[in-house]
Structures are given as C-alpha cells and as structure tokens.
Amino acid sequence: MRAWELTADLAVVGTGVAGLTAALRAAELGLRVVIVTKATIEDGNTRWAQGGVAVALPGTGDSVDAHVTDTVAAGARLCDEAAARAILAAGPAAVSALRARGATFDGDPSGLRRAREGGHQAFRIIHAGGDATGAEIERTLAGAVSEQGPLRLPVLEGHTVTEVLRDGAGRVAGLALLGCGDGVLRARAVLLATGGLGQLYAVSTNADVATGDGLALALRAGALTADLEFVQFHPTALYVGPASRGRQPLVTEAIRGAGAVLLDITGAPVMNGVHPLGGLAPRDVVSAAITNRMSATGTDHVLLDATHLGGAQLRRRFPTVHAACIQAGVDPGRMPIPVAPAAHYHCGGVVTDTSGRTTVRGLYAAGEVARTGLHGANRLASNSLLEALVMGTRAAEAVAADLTVAPRPAGSLPPPCAVRPVADRDQVQRAMSAHAGIGRDAAGLAAASAVAAASTPQRPRTPREAEDAGLTLAAAAILAAATARTESRGCHLRTDHPRTRARWRRNIAVVLDSTGAPMVAGPVPVGGAA
Ligand code: SIN
C-alpha cells in the first residue's frame, strides 16, 4: 500500500537550467508538470556557474559555423557535428527567451559584452554580474516557477527518486520516490535533468548534490549511455590546501581571457610552447599541462597571476572569485592565486537525440546528465549553459508532441526499490581521484573498479543510501568505458596509451547487463537516440 500517489503528464527531475527551462516550456504548452528535487530548488550546480553562455550572436561578426568549428576542435574529433550545429544554431533564440523571462546580462554601449574563454577563437561568451551568470539564470528561472511567478509549478523538494517506473510494455509510467514504496509520481513522461557527478571525486567544483543520480536512474531503466569516460577537469579550482575535500571554489577561465597567466611554483609559465592558444587552449590541454608541471615540480598546485588587473578591477569584474580568494587569505590583486585542476563536468551521459529523447520510450534527458553529441571528448567552455537552455526547451516540446500519440501506461506499476550494490563513498571518491582523473592506466582503473565492486547489496532507505547506490553504479560505468578506450583523447588521458588512435575515433556506449552491471555495448547509433 503506497502512502501517496500524484499524477502528472511530465515529471522533471532536477532544478538546474535544463530542468526549469523544460518545466516552464512544458507548462506553457499546456502539460501538467511536477518538478522533483532531492534538495531545494536553489541547491543545484547552476548558481556556482561562473562561466557564461557561449553564443554566436547575430551582428557581432561571429557565426554559428565558427562556434561549431571551435566546439568540434575542443571535442577532439568525437562530437556529433550535426547535433552540435543544431544546438548551437538555436543559441540566440534560447538567450532571447531567457532575457524575455527577465534575465539580465552584462552590457556595454555596443550591446551585450562578450568575453573569451578556453578554446574559443572569438569573443562570444556573455556573462551576468561579472562571474555570477549561474546565479542570475537561476534567479530568473526559479522566480518564474515560484509562487510569485506566472506559472506557479509544483515543486516536490526533498524527494529522492529511487527508480524510473515502467509499465509492462516498457514505457515510462512514473517515478518511485523515497521512502521506498511510500510515494509514487505517476507520469507519462520523465525528464532527467539531474546535472553531473563531480562528487564521484574527492575534489570537485560541483555542488554536493552532483552525485550522478540521473545517470544511474537512466542506466537502470535500460537507457543507452555514451562517452562516459570523458570527465572534464577544470584547470583552475582555487587551491586551499592538501587536505581539502568536496566542492572547491572555481576560478573562472574568463580571468585568463582577461590576460591572467598560469605559472608553475618556480614562476615559469605553464603554457609556453604547449598550444597555439596558450593559456586559452581547450580545457583538457590546460589541465593536462598543469598536471604535468605539478608532477615535474613535485607540487600539488600552480599559480594564476592576475595581478595586472589590480584589486579594484578584479573585485568589479570577478566578484565571486575575488570574494573566494579573500576568504582563503589570498589577495588576487597583489599575489598570484594558487590553483589546481578539479573534477568539473561530465561530457558523456544518457544518449539523446537533439530533442532530448533517450532510447527508452517516455524517458527524456537534458543538461549535463545527457549526451547529445555536442561535447565529444572535451566540452568547450561555456557551451553547457547554452546546451541546457536549448535542450530544456526542445525536450519539453518533444514531450508535448510525443504525448499526443503515446498510449496510456498499460497495467499496474511494478514494485519499486530493488536491492542495489552500494560501495563506501569515501573509498570510491579516493579511488576515482587516484586512478580515474587526469592520467589513467589499466592497473589503476582495475584497482578503482575493485573498490566500486567491493559493495554490499542494500535496499536504499535514506537519501544518502540512494545517492551512494547511484555513485557506485556511475563509478563502475565510467571505469568500464575508461578501461575499454585504449588511447588518449580529450579528457581521457591514459599514461599506458598516450597516443590518439584513428581506430578509436568512435563513441563507446554503456548499458547494464542482465545482472545489472555496466557493460560496454556497440557503437552509438547515428543521430543519437531512437
Ligand atoms: C569557467 O568559468 O571557467 C567555467 C565555465 C564552464 O564550465 O564552461
């Protein structure tokens, strides 16, 4: 007997940019929407996003073609170019829609101010509040769904999803929510917009809620996932000491775009001779160069010298970074900022087409949890907020179109909350950081896989246990893909296979086998999902 049951057309899991954009658009299209989050509406990664929205605005001398070129180059030849073009071309309209909802971006007399970040050959990143773009987007979208907003959408805060429920025909029929068996949200469509999985690593720029929940839910529902081995490390998280764990403050790339220089501990420039774009090379290149230099100098951080900007300008243009530095006892106007790479973004995820459809009927994904083909082996800076805006809108429109022809769920719902393997979170984080970060090899990947496999079967009864089950599965899936890719490409650097191999210019798909363990499957179907 379930304690309660709710019904909706669309259940949106997650309250980041993609989730809220989708929920708003779906409601505008007349769907009954319920938003579910394990935390509160403000608790996602969005508010920490300092980098802006990369968009080729008309009339700026930039073009979608140029943006696609930079995206594909950063993606180490593993992007789906058609998907990238479709998503990036929809950028200007997505930004206009967000501004129409009330978001304000930084401007100058010639229009929106545009900055540069790593891998971009053009000034095309728009920001809000200097380095507080995520906070402004979240304010806008959360305001629109709130009690005071025009649509007033129901938000189930503090509800952990344990399973995507499917009917006898395999179609999505709703969500099981904690406590086990107590709550069910019946929905003909489910959109996963749960963000990333930075908490798989000991040190990350991600919020505490980024525990790979959506990836695990999709895998268990039978969805195809791909490019999981590509976990992007941001080159410059603020380094606050050797014992630091969890979320670290980001030091945005836009500071390098404004001329800051990476130096090693001896004062030698890190990026000289490494890449034609120097400190503004794609993120995987900069993170790898920093890692090499740290190893050569026997240190665990490097320095970012932004003193040429001076304290007043840093405070005005980069208020979030400035405040974090001051709090850590570093005056960035007077001294270089200690920085080190940290887990930042999952380039792979649940395979979708460019309308957010996964390979499971009725299941959609958008934002970081999804793999559209835009990012390839390494995401271009500030393409993620753009992708979330575009794909949130498109997924909502796809749900509305699909529901007009979808049959009603057949039969009763299966009982939720199966027993799942759960490994120790601290051990998993340490193993992933040691063996599945920048610089991997077969022995290390096997050691990390053994840690993930040293799990005990549990029926998750608390949000923390449900997260741990998700982290365990996400780790195993990433490790399976990383083990299979015997080359180095983008964010995936293998010390035992340092070269990029033409035969590996293909995407690795992962699904669950009949025992529930991740297995590497065939190639990703052209055009993404079914
Ligand atoms: C940054 O500001 O450096 C991060 C932007 C991003 O992750 O795209």
For the segment 368-399, what is each residue's pLDDT rounded down to a tens digit? 999 999 999 999 999 999 999 999 999 999 99
pTM of the model: 0.95
Instruction: Judge if the beta carbon of residue 384 lies within 6 A of ligand 1.
Output: yes
Asked if 172 contacts 217 with a C-beta cutoff of 8 angstroms, the reply is no
Mutate to test the pocket of ligand 1, among 252, 321, 337, 368 (most ligand atoms within 8 A of CB): 252
Nearest atom in ligand 1 to the alpha carbon of residue 236 is 3
From the CA of 118, how far away is ligand 1's center (Å)?
Answer: 9
From the CA of 453, how far away is ligand 1's center (Å)?
Answer: 33
Q: What is the DSSP string of 426-495?
A: HHHHHHHHHHSSSSB-HHHHHHHHHHHHS-EEE---SHHHHHHHHHHHHHHHHHHHHHH--S-BTTB-BS
CA–CA distance, 189 with 409 (Å, rounded to integer): 10
pLDDT in tens, 255-266: 999 999 999 999
Instruction: Judge if the beta carbon of residue 252 lies within 6 A of ligand 1.
Output: yes
Which neighbouring-strand residues pair with 187? 8
Average pLDDT along the chain? 93
Position 108 confidence tier, pLDDT thresholds 50, 70, 90: confident
Mutate to test the pocket of ligand 1, among 125, 382, 383, 385 (most ligand atoms within 8 A of CB): 382
pLDDT in tens, 39-49: 988 776 666 66
From the CA of 98, how far away is ligand 1's center (Å)?
Answer: 19
Instruction: Judge if the beta carbon of residue 282 lies within 6 A of ligand 1.
Output: no
Instruction: Judge if the beta carbon of residue 211 lies within 6 A of ligand 1.
Output: no
Checking if the pLDDT of 449 tops 80, the result is: yes
From the CA of 353, how far away is ligand 1's center (Å)?
Answer: 24
Checking if the pLDDT of 303 tops 50, the result is: yes
Kindly calculate the radius of gyration of the chain based on its CA atoms and give it in whole angstroms.
22
Checking if the pLDDT of 180 tops 90, the result is: no
Q: Atom 2, ligand 1: which residue's CA is nearest?
A: 51
Position 110 confidence tier, pLDDT thresholds 50, 70, 90: confident
Active site residue 394: no
Q: Residue 359 is inside which H or E element, if any? A: none
What's the whole-number mean pLDDT along residues 327-336?
97
Torsion of CA 423, 427, 431, 437, to 10 degrees: 90
Nearest atom in ligand 1 to the alpha carbon of residue 50 is 2
Structure tokens at 295: 């190893």
Q: What is the DSSP string of 79-93?
A: S-HHHHHHHHHTHHH
Angle between the N-to-C axes of helices 319-327 and 310-317, in degrees from 0 to 180, rounded to the nearest 10: 120
Checking if the pLDDT of 530 tops 60, the result is: no
Q: Atom 4, ligand 1: which residue's CA is nearest?
A: 51
- Out of 25, 124, 283, 371, the active site residue is 283
From the CA of 384, how far away is ligand 1's center (Å)?
Answer: 9
Checking if the pLDDT of 529 tops 70, the result is: no
Mutate to test the pocket of ligand 1, among 117, 137, 378 (most ligand atoms within 8 A of CB): 117
